[in-house]
Structure formats: structure tokens, C-alpha cells
Structure 1
Amino acid sequence: MAKVIMVQGTTSNAGKSIVTAALCRIFKQDGYKVAPFKSQNMALNSYITKDGLEMGRAQVMQAEAAGIEPDVRMNPILLKPTGDKGSQVILNGSVLGDMSAKDYYKQKTMLIPHILKSYNSLAEENDVIVIEGAGSPAEINLRENDIVNMGMAELVDAPVILVGDIDRGGVFASIAGTLLLLTDDEKKRVKGTVINKFRGDVDILKPGLDMLEDITHVGVLGVIPYMKLQIDDEDSLSERLDNKNELKLIDIAVIKLPRLSNFTDFNVFEMFNGVSVRYVSNVHDLCDPDMVILPGTKNTIEDLKWLRQSGLEAKIQRFAHQGKPVFGICGGYQMLGDKIYDPESVESGGEIRGLGLLNTETTFYQEKIRTQVKGKFKEINGLYNYLSNIEFEGYEIHMGDTNTQNVEPLSSINVISDTLANKVKNDGVVNKNVAGSYIHGIFDNSNVANAIVEMLYDRKGLNKEELEGFDINQFKNSQYDLLADTVRKSLDMDKIYAIIK
């Protein structure tokens, strides 16, 4: 069975996902077969495996860092919030049902056999498992039925390292306070602490580290500097949404829907030196971008209502009628059509008028479509002709079917991960400067992203010689190596190996 180490944090956004990814990369570099694991993830950012199963994007990112294929066993439980008090529960990659927080809390210990089956199966195939916790282990009201922090550590007898975020202040208090609230047995599991996101001179911090060790009787494994990396970290959502990016040569505005999902679909554009990506939630901030993107959403109808009430619908319609590029992904694609019907009350029931920018109608059904695809853009007329005949890969994850009769399809796709494997069908619609697709990750294909940016450069008459195309996979690997190198230099890896062994 694999050796194991667990990364927990004093708070959400402390950097657990990134530290887990860094350890996965380091162990891989050192010649070990390693896999990430998180028993329960709560996120709207999800991914579809080659088996057609749904899992959290954070574990996909960590699998990439480990150099292995994402596997639903790495995240057996995924909670996708449907409101303030409930979530859609995904178990082993398939929908178990919608539950209130109260109902799920009562039932979640019944899911332990599923968690252990996934974990043990991975442990039989790997040398090291790096487990990520969730939130904080000091949520004392949740201790009794915990399956993701100390409860998970106890299930597999995992040693724990505790990560604290110094960038937000109060890191010494958060680490000491977290340890104070743990039981004696839980505290014994914590073999070291890590200070994350530090800016400045570490020598100035050292007296504080010594005092922290004296207070907690737990050694400090190191201090990780604040890193600006292009990595699809789940916690980076808040930073991206709140960051007021400096406008560059090309300005892409992504509509910040209240139930925004799969925001990582657009991270690729941030990798271009001349492109800025802004998340916009009001008419004033939209300004006059070079492209508007309507992203995916967990609730298309409610977010369409919000779009209408906010005044952004009218602004986007005006933008499109001026011949400027608009692109919708998944729920955003559904919104761009004429009508949305919900006869089975998959969301809120009834029907609603869309933006009317694409001649389509969408009907929701109870069955969730989830599959990986390979595709190729059609020979496209109009603004998006830059995409003509380019091949891509991605995945579908949505409720509903969109009627695209008598309209120009965007692409032809080949389903590769469900009972309809190798079925060929059309995806998406294009109407001059407006296009939509169900495919998440469609921009993560280097040729697609390069074509979109080239199109935007040409529309503005900019010099394309300054535009350097790049290979996304190669870029991602360079970022994982940079992450691993920085963390390796920052932490006492000898101690970490001793903790594992």
C-alpha cells in the first residue's frame, strides 16, 4: 500500500490545493508514482473523465502535476451547491441527488465505504498518496461526522501538515488556534506547519516562527513565498473575480454570473501577454471590451433572470448587434438562444425568453449529459472563420438539449466516454459574430486559443508579430515545475519524507 501524507489548512483559500499539487510534482520528480486524493470536494468547477464520470477540477489539476490521467477515485464525493443550504451530491462520478446541508450531514458517514474503496484502490497502484483536506479541521461543530479532514486522516492513519495563509494576516493566531481546537489525538497527527503566501524577508519572520514552535510544540516545515502562477487552482476563483486587471491590448470580459461554474475555461487567455481577462457583474464595469463571454452556470434560468435585471442583457445584445464577438459556453450558450423550457422542473420550471442572439431553443431534462469529446470546427463563415477546421478536445457536462435545426453548426464532435462512444454529432451554433458551444475546455486547445486571439488582434488592426502562439500543455508543465522548484526550496523536504516514512 502507498505511503500517505495529508495537507490541511487553517482556513479555506490557505493554499491546500496548491501545496498538494506541489508535493505531487516533487514526488513525481523524485521517481515515485503518486496520486492526489480528496474525499469530499465542494465546487462548481468540475471535469468529466474518459469514463464519463464527474469530479472536482482541483484534483484534475493535481493529477496533471503528478503526470497521470485524472481518475474519479481521486475525488469520490463532489458537492455542487444549488443554493445557500443545499447541493447536488455526486458520488463516484454520478449524481446521487439533491440534498439539503442538514440531510447530507446526517447521511455522509454512510459514504465512508465508498471513500475507502476509492482510496484503497489508488493506494494499491501508487507509491504515495497526497490527501487534501477541506476548509479547516477546527470546525468543531462538524467534528462528529467528519470525513474530509481529521476524520479522513484517522480512516487511513495519515500524518498531517497544516498550512496557514500569511497574506491575509493573523497566520500565527490561525495556526495556534487551529491546533488549540483539535483533540489530543488529532493534534498528534499534525507533524509540521507551513506558512504560505509570504511576501518579504524571511529573516524578519524567523523570531515569530521560533515563538510559534514554542507555543504549539509543532515544528515549522518552511515558508512558501507568494507565487504568481498560471495554475487552475479552485481557490484562485476568488482572486480572479476580485482582481481588477490592468487593461491590455485585448480586453476579454467574462460575465460574472451569480452561479458561475467552470471558470477555468477562460484561464488560457490570461497566458497571452497582450490579453486581459475581466470578470464583470454590472453594466458600469462592462465598458467596451473586445469580446464578451457568457460562461457556464449551475442554474441557467436564475442567472438569465439576473442578467436581465442587472441590465447586462441589453448591453450584450447591443454589443452583438454592433458586430462584436460574443461567445457562450454551456449555460451561457443556452442563454444566447430564443427560448429555454424546463417542463420537468430541473431548475425552476416553466419557460423563459433568451437573449435571442442565436436561433435555438433549449429544453431541460432530468438526465445529466457528461462525456469527453473530440471535435473539429466546421468551415465557418463570418467573424469566427479563424476557427475553421481546427481540431479540439473537451467535455460536456450539462442538463438539457438544444435544438439547432436550420442553423449553422459550430463544430462536429465525436463522443468518446459513454455508452454512445464514437457517436458523431454536431455541437454549438454560430451566427456571424455570435457563437455558442457546450464544450468545456474548448479554449484549452492551443490552436483554438491562438485563433481567437489572432481574430481579436486583426479586428483591432494590431500588429500580430507581437503575438506569440504557445503550447498550453508545455506551458502548464513549466508552471508545475516552477511550483515544485519553489516549494522544494522553501520546505524541509527531508522532514517531509521522514513524516511519510
Structure 2
Amino acid sequence: MLAHTIMVQGTASHAGKSILVAALCRIFYQDGFKVAPFKSQNMALNSYVTAHGGEMGRAQVVQAEAAGIAPEVNMNPILLKPTGNSSSQVIVLGRPLDNYSAQSYHSKVASGLWEVVTKALAQLRREYNVVVIEGAGSPAEVNLDDTEIVNMRVAREADAPVLLVADIDRGGALAAVVGTLELLRTDDRERVKGIIINKFRGDVGIFQPAIDFLEQKTGIPVLGVIPFFTDLRIQDEDSVVMEEKKYRAGGDDNKIQICVIRLPRLSNFTDFDPFETDVDVELRYVRRVNELGRPDLVIIPGSKNTIEDLLYLKETGLAGEIVRAAKSGTPVVGICGGFQMLGSELLDPEKTESNIAQLSGLGLLEMKTVFAKDKVTSQVTAVINGGGEYLNGYAGELTGYEIHMGRTELGETLGHAFNIQTRSGLQVAVKDGAVSQNGNVWGTYMHGIFDNDGFRRHLIQVLKQKKGIIEEQSSQVISTLERRQRDYDRLADHVRSNLNMKLVYSILGI
């Protein structure tokens, strides 16, 4: 028997579809169902690598974790990773297809991927009891009706009832719901079986006349009003959330100040989420020189377009400030693209990422990176190779994942920072990253390295000792994995208590 399906669509991007799908996955999982998420096509720079080496959107990874299952590429068969303002790398079933302009993709490529979408969905429906489907943007984007493969066309394929979500925090929620329904074709409008008002602040009782209006105007029940929450740390994939990150230049001297450089094409920003739960750390994202302040640690994150983001650092003056900070003793760490920027030279002879064939790096590590079209995507385990106080002293195994297209060659005086021991479950002996002779500058291709709680806490302790912060009392650190599981349960409780789940189950056909 094929799984029951239900689809969550939004009146606009960032309406909260991904989080609500995660909540529903957790609720169905708690209620004893074997449930999986599905989003046919995602656009995001925040991606993940599965155990089999396939790349997929981070939101479906979060939703799979909430559902109590391992993520797989069928849950997100198509991922678009923007490389510029109007072009993206297209990932199909976890593997890169090519780079396309928006025009080329929608006119020539998307329709040919429909079979990929239907097969992935069918496979999930054979393996699970319930599949919770997420749409993208708005189903009322009439200019994309002929080529869309992510909203109502998927709902029709799955014969899925649709729940329409509106973000009231940004205003205009009622008009957005009514306008969206008005623009849908008749059969698609009839498929919408419930309305959810999301991110509500204030007294729901005062909002009741609006609920009555919506139900009378549309003939569709309002299933719930979900209050805005800020105390749950559910990982987000949408780059819109980065605009809500902190950019202030101040800081608490009694905490470790960690500055992440806010690159224009920053990828995998969730690499740094674990620091936000460390009470002795203040994490800041900076994009201008005057926001840098006096950090205890500078991190250059990953990038989907390393060369152009490096050019941005030079044009804004951040490159010079980072180099000066490193030379004055501030530790500087690079992750993936940020690691590549630390070198002396970056070469892109095949124009893989940009039209710039060569650019000098920050010169903090004696190495050069050459970009090529083949892409490394794998889960890894590793150990520290050694080098300096920030890496030495920690002997535990590290887990992470690689997503990169460059190959980095180290100079004779430079040592590798890590030894990779397994890739996608296979035993290997591969050197990774690099570390300066004094240990003050190091980098790695491993995303997720700070999810390793022991290593992260070791790094923080060294920084605290150097800063002269005395421990009053050591507090127990909740593991990153345990905290996520707790937050999934709290998210489910929050949504369940504000959503008519009896009616949701009726709509679902259970």
C-alpha cells in the first residue's frame, strides 16, 4: 500500500514551511507512523552529504532527523545551489549535473527532470506510511506554471491534500492567503484543505474575527495559529535567516568572541550553530571591517563561489584586517572555501566557479588550490594530525562531511591538520587541511567539525585560557545531537498544541 501524503505549501518564501514539515514529521513519528519528508526541488547553499555520498538540502536532513530516519537523496532529488545572481549548480539525486542560468534551467532542464521527481516520490511512498511534502516559494507563481515541478504538479502526482501556510509576522497574511487561492486554477484550489497562520505574536483571541473572515471568504478551515517562537534552535536552510544573524561589533569580555565572516555566497552556515548554545561564547557574523572588533577567533566559512567571495574580502578591506589579526596572534580558521582562501593562490582554469581564472589568496598558509569540475561529496571520520595548541591535546575521533570542487596542494613547510580515516564508510588514509607552523592558522575541508562536542569544547577551553577567563564551575554540556532531539520534541509539542491535529489526520485520510 502506498503511503498517505500531505503537502505544505506557502503563500511566499520563508513562510515557515520547512519548520512545519519538520514538526509534522516529528508528530507523526511520535504517534507511531513511519514517516518521511519530501521536497522535489530545493534552492539553497546549505547542503549535506548522506552516508552514500549524495548531496541534498539541509532542510530535508532536519526533517528526516525529526522523523527518526536517516536522510537520503530521494527526499530531495533536485537541489539548486546558486553560483551567482542568475545561475545555479544543479544537483540531481545527490550528484552535480552542471551549472545553468535561471532561464536555461526553467526552459530546457526542469521539465526533463520530472521523471526523477516522480520516481523518487514513488520510492518513498512504497517505503513509508506517511510522506509529508514541502512546496517551494508560492504555488501562485503563474509565470512558472508550465515548468514548475515542486508545487501543485507534485500535489497532483501524489494526490495530496494541501495545507497553505501564511507568515503573519511580515504582515499581509490574510491578503496573501486570499490572493494565492484566487490565482490557483480551480482544481488546485479545491486541493487546499486547510490554512495555517504562522509566526503569530500577541493575543490569538483578538485575531478570531480574522479567522472567521478567512473561513467564510475561502470556505477552507483555519487549522491553527502557530505562535512565534525564538527558544527553539531548529537548523534552517534558507539564506533569508542569515539576515537575522547578529552584526554588532561589541562584545562581552567575559565570553569568547567568535567572528564568522558573512560572505555574500556563504554556504553551510549551520556549521557554526553549535557555538550558539555554548554559554561562554558570543558568536557574531560580520560583513564589514568596523564590525570585526577584537575577536578571540575568526572563522572564514564555506562559499559556493570562493574566488568571487575572496575578491569581496579584498574590496571591503576585510582581507587586510583578517591578515593583520592573524599576524598579531588572533587565531584564524577556514572551513572548505574559507580554507582555500587562506592560501597563496587560487586557480580556476576551467571557469568552474566564476569567470576569474586566477586570484591571489590571503597568504596565511603556503598552498594553492586548483578548481576542477569533479566534486568530492562524502561523509568522513578523521583524527588530528597535530600542530599548535588549538589542535594538539585533543585525541578523539572527528566526524564531518566534504563538499568541494577544489584540490589544494601544500608547500613544503606546511603540515596537514587532519588525517581522514574513512570516507563514505570505506577505510582510507587521506590528509586533510593545513596548519601553520605556529598553529595559529588552520583550515579543513570538513563541514560539521564543530558538531563534535569534545573538539569544540577543547578549542573553547584553549581560547579561554589564552584570554585569562577563569572557570567558576564547569557545567555539563548537552551534546549537539541530544539537544537537537530535545528541540524536535519541543517543536512538535508547540505545533501540536496550536494545530487541530484531529482535523489534520482526517485530511490525511487516517
TM-score of the pair, normalised by structure 1? 0.96
**Secondary structure at 1:497's aligned position in 2?**
helix
Contact preservation (8 Å) 2:396, 2:455: yes
Contact preservation (8 Å) 2:245, 2:284: no
Shift of residue 176, structure 1, vs aligned partner: 1.2
- Deviation string, structure 1 residues 240-274 (Cα, Å, up to 9, x no partner): 55444684422211111111111110011001123
1:279 and 2:279 are equivalent in the alignment: no
Aligned 1:72-151 pairs, distance under 5 A: 72-106=73-107, 107-151=109-153
C-alpha distance in 2 between matches for 1:239 and 1:214: 37
C-alpha distance in 1 between matches for 2:247 and 2:362: 27
Q: 2:213 aligns with which of 196, 211, 214?
A: 211
Aligned 1:128-277 pairs, distance under 5 A: 128-228=130-230, 229-235=232-238, 237-239=240-242, 241-244=244-247, 247-248=251-252, 249-277=255-283
Q: Which residue of 2 aligns with 1:493?
A: 501
Contact preservation (8 Å) 2:38, 2:76: yes
Amino acid across the alignment from 2:488: Y
- Deviation string, structure 1 residues 318-356 (Cα, Å, up to 9, x no partner): 111111111100000000011112222223353221111
Shift of residue 380, structure 1, vs aligned partner: 3.2
Go from structure 1 to structure 2 and tell me whether the alpha carbon gap of 1:312 and 1:244 turns closer, same or farther (over 3 Å shift).
closer
1:18 and 2:34 are equivalent in the alignment: no
Contact preservation (8 Å) 2:44, 2:238: no
**Secondary structure at 2:145's aligned position in 1?**
helix
Contact preservation (8 Å) 1:241, 1:278: no
Shift of residue 235, structure 1, vs aligned partner: 3.1
Total equivalences in the alignment:
498
**Secondary structure at 1:356's aligned position in 2?**
coil
Contact preservation (8 Å) 2:247, 2:291: no
**Secondary structure at 1:499's aligned position in 2?**
helix
Shift of residue 443, structure 1, vs aligned partner: 0.7
Aligned 1:360-439 pairs, distance under 5 A: 360-386=367-393, 388-406=394-412, 407-417=414-424, 421-431=426-436, 432-439=439-446
- Deviation string, structure 1 residues 375-429 (Cα, Å, up to 9, x no partner): 111243234335x3221111111011111353222111123228xx322111111
C-alpha distance in 2 between matches for 1:449 and 1:170: 43
- Deviation string, structure 1 residues 164-219 (Cα, Å, up to 9, x no partner): 11111111111111111111111111110111111111111111111111111111
Shift of residue 237, structure 1, vs aligned partner: 4.8
> Is there any run of 5+ residues in structure 1 with no aligned partner, and where?
none
C-alpha distance in 1 between matches for 2:244 and 2:203: 29
Contact preservation (8 Å) 2:247, 2:286: no
1:335 and 2:345 are equivalent in the alignment: no
C-alpha distance in 1 between matches for 2:443 and 2:229: 34
Go from structure 1 to structure 2 and tell me whether the alpha carbon gap of 1:243 and 1:177 turns closer, same or farther (over 3 Å shift).
farther
C-alpha distance in 1 between matches for 2:271 and 2:323: 23
Alignment identity in percent?
A: 51
> Is there any run of 5+ residues in structure 2 with no aligned partner, and where?
none
Contact preservation (8 Å) 1:81, 1:87: yes
Contact preservation (8 Å) 2:16, 2:198: yes
C-alpha distance in 2 between matches for 1:148 and 1:482: 29
C-alpha distance in 2 between matches for 1:468 and 1:313: 37
| Higher mean C-alpha deviation, range 231-240 or range 16-25 | 231-240
**Secondary structure at 1:193's aligned position in 2?**
strand
C-alpha distance in 2 between matches for 1:240 and 1:45: 15
Shift of residue 81, structure 1, vs aligned partner: 1.0
Q: Which residue of 1 aligns with 2:467?
A: 460
C-alpha distance in 1 between matches for 2:11 and 2:79: 21
- TM-align CA RMSD: 1.5
**Secondary structure at 2:45's aligned position in 1?**
coil
Moved segments of 4+, more than 6 Å: none
C-alpha distance in 1 between matches for 2:411 and 2:126: 50
C-alpha distance in 1 between matches for 2:73 and 2:404: 18
Go from structure 1 to structure 2 and tell me whether the alpha carbon gap of 1:429 and 1:467 turns closer, same or farther (over 3 Å shift).
farther
Contact preservation (8 Å) 2:384, 2:391: no
| Higher mean C-alpha deviation, range 374-383 or range 185-194 | 374-383
C-alpha distance in 2 between matches for 1:353 and 1:382: 28
Shift of residue 297, structure 1, vs aligned partner: 0.4
Contact preservation (8 Å) 2:36, 2:67: yes
Go from structure 1 to structure 2 and tell me whether the alpha carbon gap of 1:163 and 1:243 turns closer, same or farther (over 3 Å shift).
farther
C-alpha distance in 1 between matches for 2:410 and 2:242: 37
- Deviation string, structure 1 residues 307-326 (Cα, Å, up to 9, x no partner): 01100011001111111111
Shift of residue 290, structure 1, vs aligned partner: 1.5
Contact preservation (8 Å) 1:371, 1:415: no
